[in-house]
Amino acid sequence: MSTEFNELLPPFGSDKSHTDKSQIWIIGTREQVLHTINEFYVKRIATDRVKFTPIIPAPFEGKYMSVLVR
């Protein structure tokens, strides 16, 4: 990011909302997304498969997506 963009961002830690959670977006073929979800679960990156959104079509042709909310 350039300096101009960095100046537009609020200072780190200045947000008042702690309800926002980090997200990991998984985009690929249906098989790639399912494999990555399983890999995250096995490697204990996600403690439960419920933390993933259902696999849905992505706005890219032939791609699907799921989001892990941590």
Summarised one tens digit per residue, pLDDT across range 14-57 is: 655 556 788 999 999 999 999 999 999 999 999 999 999 999 99
Greater confidence, 12 or 29? 29
Per the structure block, which two tokens stand in for 58?
């992505």
DSSP H stretches of helix in the chain? 3-8, 30-42
Q: What is the pLDDT, as a whole number, of residue 61?
A: 93
**Does residue 56 sit in helix, strand or coil?**
strand
Which of 24, 19, 50 lies closest to 36, judged by CA? Answer: 24
